[in-house]
Chains A and B, each alone.
Chain A
Amino acid sequence: MIQTNFDVLFQSLICILFSGALVAVLLHKLGRPIAWISFAIAFIGSLLGILLSIDVILNDPITLGWSLGTFFGEWTLYLDQLSAFFLFMVCLVMASVSVYSFGYVGEYEGKYDTGLMGALLNLFFLSLVLVVSSNNAILFLISWESMSLVSFLLVMYEGRKEGVTNAGYLYLTMTHIGTAVMTAAFLLMAYYVGSYSFDDISAASGSLPSSVSSAAFLFLFIGLGTKAGMVPLHVWLPAAHPAAPSNISALMSGVMVKMALFMMVRSFFEFLGPVPSWWGLLVLLMGCISALLGVLYALKETDIKSTLAYSTVENMGIMFIGLGTAMVFQSYGLTSLSALALLATLFHALNHAIFKSLLFLGAGSVVHATHTRNMESMGGLAKPMPRTSVLMFVGLLSMAAIPPLGGFVSEWLLFQSLLQTTAVPDILVKMLMSVSIAILALTGALAVAMAVRLFGTTFLARPRTEQAKNAVESPKTMLWGMSFLAALCILLGVLSSWIIPYIDNVTESVLGVSIGSSVVDGLSISPESNDFATMAPLLIALLALIGIVMAWVLGHPKSGTERTSGTWDCGTPLSSRNEYTGTALSNPIVRVFGNIYRPQSEIRTESTSSPYIRKRLFYEVHFGDVFERRIYHPITILFTGIAKRMTVIQAGSIQAYLGYIFMMLVLLLVVFR
């Protein structure tokens, strides 16, 4: 009885989102009211989705009542624990984004079509739901493509702004390359299995020839990696995510890139059968590269949203490290260790979805208030925007993996699972995995630096520009949307010992092994081997709380003993010009990693008549993007060269076009007579 009820819930979720999009498209002329209605519909949809996914994670998988028979087999929608977990993630983020959008859409009032934004938001939500629930390769590809196209439209939403169109087309090109490669993978699998249904493909997983499954793996990894922002296929991500409106950036960075992770978990473990260890090592390697380069590039950015976008590249890299570890363990038959790594990966995915969307929403508030994305022209925003800054602070703590927040717990689990490599018999693999531990540690440290830099440059010190001085706090709805996510950031960490068993349900459905009971023991969390390490997030939280209270009490001596006076300023009045900038903060790191950044800095002085008195100093620094210069630039030159050659046949003359047809016809007739 309950089963059918949830079945109906699933159907109504899809119908609600579809009708929300339809209504908003039809009535988009009405502007803001219709946008509000569609956001409300998205919000209701996300509540339904949360309910539904919790039920599926706790109980049984469900199949949607109706299915569509097509040339490519039955098209059914199906939710199992894994897809429900990702649906849960989508709906959590979507719930807060839809609330946030109520206030945020005001920025576009009168400039862009706000009703359209509501329609696209609903469509985006719908395509995300379909991506996680498709049970047929072709249906999945269609949903995937519609997700990409709708998000492309959303990236182009502020199309009249400079640079947005370029970012949008870059995104469109990259995502299509990815989809094309993925299509090849699925067609390959379907050809050997003889069916497009995911059920049949996973049932036949072991029977694929190893060369075929390896080819399919490589295609899928490249195709999905493009969407996930894997280095060196990441170039579109730092361009497109910041270009989109901030509520959409939150969805793209928080949720959409996770869809790639979802399909990787599903296809690598369920479709492609027994995993050879080199697959895992490849994923691990790419993960390490993405994590390290992502955070390094994030440190050089002065654009607040680009910084966050590069941080997404980094975090996807961390998830790939976890996924690769799980695959390596799986290939050596260490299923319970594999489950630990996968659990850490999924948990980190959830945490990243929450804190990254929180940060993007916060960045949206900041941009909304200052009308610039350049952090160097912000500063001092903690005063005019106290709530936003506190919420951003929570998100940044989680991103920097500070205990006891969610980001810390998942990264800790990931470290623990990497440290279990001693169980792997192959010495070479052991060594490689140890290197990845070091890289992960380095990444974590740099992530802290990035968080400090982002918060310090944006919110602390004095405002550097007029815009920053005149900033005002965001509307209430925007703050509510963010507060929900910030609360989740904290709860996911503090209550992780209660949450992990549910994620364990998900990994159990993928790998068939439950490790929940051995990982969680009362309040404390520990990896597989009990006496290895133990950690209790709740106790850490209590300790931290006590520490903060103590510091506050001790740090505030009794009144009367305080003395307030100006800062010693060497006789020059201190202004925002004396502040430490974000570029300056990251300069030591840029120097240390000069080989990667390849900075080109230039200092020019404008002197007066006396060489000892300088009027002005200019400092300019440029970073060359290695991938752009070495990979993408040559490819672009090649293709534009070919295209230029091809324009010769595009003569614009009717006779020439007819001539091509004629020659082709005669040729075909003669060849195939």
Chain B
Amino acid sequence: MSSEVLTDAINGLAAIILLTSIVLVASKRMRSLVRTFMIQSLALGMFAAVVAYYTGADHIYIVAVLTIALKVFVIPYFLEYTIDKIHVKKEIEPLVGIPMSLLICAGLAFVGYYVSEPIIASGDAITKNCFAISLAVVLIGLFLMISRRKAMTEVIAILVIENGIFLGAISITYGMPLIVEIGVFFDVLVAALIMGIFAYKINRTFETLDTTFMRRLRD
């Protein structure tokens, strides 16, 4: 493949990742949230694969495979299992309305570009433009965490943040050493498991997953 096609593929996948983040913010239902997260992770895995093809670094292939295995299959499956098990109400119940959230996300995307501009200007990697997107994804993930009530949404938000960080790492350094990546994957998996269990426990203690009820823990 020519390098132009590769660049187009990389930029296109990155755009998908950003779009899916915004779709996450706009989702109204728990299950669609998990589905969108799957699509985002798939795009991320393919992004890693394309970068691996471009650079010829074999270990990035492994990273891509791991990304898809964990974030497209294992973690979403576990999340859906938890959602089923605790019979959580399927509505998202945002604290900030969806139109407003989308406006804020647009603003955050601008912030991402504004902040990353000096780094992009000095970089020479083919994927350097994706760094702005990765920052935007991290910020949108954080916003998702703040603006939604349910503990399950917070779990997905942190996974989105992780995706953003992963995208950033690959786009400016062509990926970290394999051992680090594997460690990060393991962390994410364990974090998702633990948070799923916590969500279950929170539900059992408070009869709800609405974290605003945890105000009672104050004092």
Contact = CB atoms under 8 A, between A and B. Distances in A.
B217 to A, nearest CB: 7
B199 to A, nearest CB: 13
A547 interface: no
A655 B150 CA distance: 10
Contact of B146 (A662, A669, A673): A662
A665 B135 CA distance: 11
Nearest to B142: A662
Nearest to B211: A654
B169 to A, nearest CB: 17
Contact of A653 (B111, B118, B215): B215
Interface in B82-119: 95, 108, 111, 114-118
Contacts of A651: 215, 218
A403 to B, nearest CB: 62
Contacts of B149: 655
A658 interface: yes
B76 to A, nearest CB: 23
Interface in A154-183: none
A661 B147 CA distance: 13
A669 B110 CA distance: 12
B60 interface: no
Contacts of A673: 114-118
A659 interface: yes
B146 A655 contact: yes
B111 A666 contact: yes
Size bin of chain B's contact surface: 20 to 34
A670 interface: yes
B69 to A, nearest CB: 30
Contacts, number: 48
A659 B211 CA distance: 14
B115 A658 contact: no
Instruction: Tell me whether chain B's interface is mostly helix, strand or loop, or mixed.
Output: helix
B115 A670 contact: yes
Interface string A635-670: 000000000000000111111001101100110011
A666 B139 contact: yes
A658 B217 contact: no
A661 B142 CA distance: 9
B146 A652 contact: no
Given A652-B218, A655-B95, A655-B212, A662 B143 contact: yes
Contacts of A653: 211-212, 214-215
A658 B144 CA distance: 10
Interface in B184-219: 211-212, 214-218
A662 B217 CA distance: 22
Given A653-B215, A665-B139, A666-B108, 11 more contacts: A650-B218, A652-B216, A652-B217, A652-B218, A655-B95, A658-B146, A659-B146, A662-B139, A669-B111, A669-B115, A670-B111
Interface of B: 95, 108, 111, 114-118, 135, 139, 142-143, 145-147, 149, 154, 211-212, 214-218
22 contacts: A651-B215, A652-B214, A652-B215, A652-B216, A653-B211, A654-B154, A655-B146, A655-B147, A655-B149, A655-B211, A658-B145, A658-B146, A659-B146, A662-B139, A662-B143, A665-B139, A666-B111, A669-B115, A669-B135, A673-B114, A673-B117, A673-B118
